[in-house]
Structure 1
Amino acid sequence: MKVLSIDTSNYTLGVALLDGDQVKGEYITNLKKNHSVRVMPAIESLMNDCDMKPADLEKIVVAKGPGSYTGVRIGVTIAKTLAWTLNIPLVGVSSLEGSAASAGRYFDGCISPLFDARRGQIYTGLYQYRQGQIYSIQKDQLLLSKDWAAILKERDEKILFIGNDLPIHQPIIEETLGGQAVFAEITEQNPRPSELALLGRDREGEDIHSFVPNYIRLAEAESNWIKANKEKKI
């Protein structure tokens, strides 16, 4: 099966082409640049390099969040448009799950991918590989990094932390967990779009029209708008 995967959910922009059990190509950058003007040229360039045409694709896999509100929306919109235009299945995979899969496959313990959510908060979850399959141990959520560290302290096992935003929260994690915390190397922090493609390759397609991103929380602007309108009604 020929699969195109797209991840624009954070600063990392990643696209990959999977053909059966072979990664045909992969493009990754970790730059604070506008994904909306870069992702389609990246897809086109990768497909040209791999001698693949849009009509060859059989499935689209996209990182559906959480992450940057704008970034998640860009990736999901492009993935839905491509899947609808080509009349092929669309699969959404948690951005956190994709991150966990990028470095945790051979880690003997649980994996906690994280993205910074400002004000001391993180998007995170807990995953674990068992017999080659990744499982969600605790659902994706938004909470303070100090509270997450306290929750994980109760687990009698090593925890692998992964994510480009680790430096922001690593001191708090180390203070609470000590040697229980293991930190991925900098070369493992970027989510691999090929891992995303592999995760979604054998999953059932979703209804394209009802498919929506998983922001976990409302965008700040949307939240403020709702709050302001509620106050007007009082």
Structure 2
Amino acid sequence: MAIILNIETSTKNCSVSIAKDGIQLCLVEENEENYAHGEKLNQFVDWCINGAEINLNEIEAVCVSKGPGSYTGLRIGVSSAKGFAYGLDIPLLAMDSLQVLVESQINTDVDLIIPMIDARRMEVYTALFDNKGNQLTETEAKVIDELSFEDLKDKKIVFVGDGAEKCQEVLGHLNATFIQTYPSAQFMIQKAQQKFEEQLFEDVAYFEPYYLKDFIAGKKKTE
């Protein structure tokens, strides 16, 4: 049992939660188009600590969403989490960003949960999960077209994530529901507690985000 700080910054949603013994004490999050995670994350942690009515030194572990997702968002979230782990001398836990999305749909009346994190254009980060949250395929960066998931047309599916809506038009022929949403730290709580109890800790010194694809910087605009 523990008080755990959860940090999710893999998309436009900057999200922080604090839970005690697997029960949420406070959640602070904001969906920001400009990815202002660097400016707001530590403020959100402070607000969450105040809302949970605890002291910083009462936190016993920090769990971070490790990716895949936004290069900048993941770098900021992981750096902050490692800072808390070092500064407070507490364990670091990590959770896959796709799993965070899946946790919001656990035990729903579907055969498959397919999380989709937007990777620009018609590409998404995705994998297949059953309705208990077990991962069935490797995580991949997948370009979506009309033939994608054609072998699953006899399955009842929920597509969930910030890449779901853009895929609805080309995948609308499937027996599927499309939920446009973002990973939230409120859905990290149960897995983080489980990982803490099983002592599945990360090496703080060597832990890095799971980017999946190499970062490609955009060209600087000229006058």
For 1:193, the equivalent position in structure 2 comes to: 185
Instruction: Say if 2:22 and 2:189, in contact at 8 Å, map to a contact too.
Output: no
Give CA-to-partner distance per residue, 1:171-190, whole Å, 9 cap, x none. Answer: 1121xxx1422223x5xx23
Q: Secondary structure at the match of 1:154?
A: helix
Matching of residue 152 in structure 1 with residue 153 in structure 2: no
Identify the residue that residue 212 of structure 2 maps to in structure 1. Answer: 216
2-side partners of 1:50 and 1:139: how far apart? Answer: 36
Q: 1:105 to 1:11 in 2, by over 3 A?
A: farther
Asked whether the equivalents of residues 128 and 137 of structure 2 are also in contact (C-alpha less than 8 Å), the reply is yes
Within 5 Å, give how 1:105-124 maps onto structure 2: 105-124=107-126
Q: Do the aligned residues in 1 keep the contact of 2:11 with 2:183 (CA within 8 Å)?
A: no
Query: How many residues are treated as equivalent by the alignment?
Result: 212
Q: Matches of 1:49 and 1:198 in 2, distance apart? A: 20
Conserved? CA contact 1:128–1:135, under 8 Å: yes
Q: TM-score, normalised by structure 1?
A: 0.84
Distance between the aligned counterparts of 1:108 and 1:143, measured in 2?
A: 22
Give the CA deviation at 1:8: 0.9
User: Following TM superposition, by how much is the alpha carbon of 1:153 offset from its aligned partner in structure 2, in angstroms?
Assistant: 2.0
Equivalences for residues 67-146 of structure 1 within 5 A: 67-130=69-132, 134-146=133-145
1:103 to partner: Cα distance: 2.7
Q: Does the aligned pair in 1 maintain the 2:24–2:189 contact within 8 Å?
A: no
Provide the C-alpha distance between the structure 2 equivalents of 1:201 and 1:129, rounded to a whole number of angstroms.
20
Change (3 A) 1:15 1:105: farther
Deviation by residue 1:114-143 (Cα, 9 ceiling, x = unmatched): 12212321111111233xxx2111121102
CA distance in 1, matches of 2:29, 2:161: 15
Change (3 A) 1:21 1:115: closer
CA contact under 8 A between 1:96 and 1:114: conserved in structure 2?
A: yes
Residue matched to 1:52? 54
Contact (CA 8 Å) 2:4, 2:193: kept in 1 or not? yes
Structure 2: state its 5+ residue gaps.
none
Contact residue 107 and residue 160 of structure 1 kept, 8 A? no
After TM superposition, where is structure 1 displaced by more than 4 Å over at least 4 residues in a row? none
Unaligned runs of 5+ in 1: 225-234
In 2, Cα distance between equivalents of 1:119 and 1:194: 28
Partner of 1:9 in structure 2?
10
SS in 1 for 2:45: helix
Q: Distance in 2 between matches of 1:173 and 1:151?
A: 8
Which residue of 1 is the match for residue 167 of structure 2? 169
| CA distance in structure 1 between the aligned counterparts of 2:107 and 2:32, rounded to whole angstroms | 26
- Give secondary structure in 2 for the equivalent of 1:107: coil
Indicate the larger mover: 69-78 or 197-206.
197-206
Is 1:181 the counterpart of 2:180? The answer is no
Is the 1:59–1:201 contact (alpha carbons within 8 Å) kept by the matching residues of 2? no
In the aligned structure 1, how far is the partner of 2:23 from the partner of 2:65?
A: 20
What's 1:230 paired with?
none
Give the helix-richer structure, 1 or 2. Answer: 1
Identity, in percent, stands at 26
Q: Is the 8 A contact 1:18 1:198 kept in 2?
A: no
State the alpha-carbon separation in 1 of the partners of residues 107 and 78 from structure 2: 26
Read off the aligned partner of 1:202 and give its amino acid letter: Q
Structure 2: which amino acid aligns with 1:121?
E
Structure-2-length-normalised TM-score: 0.88
1:151 Cα deviation from its structure 2 partner:
4.8
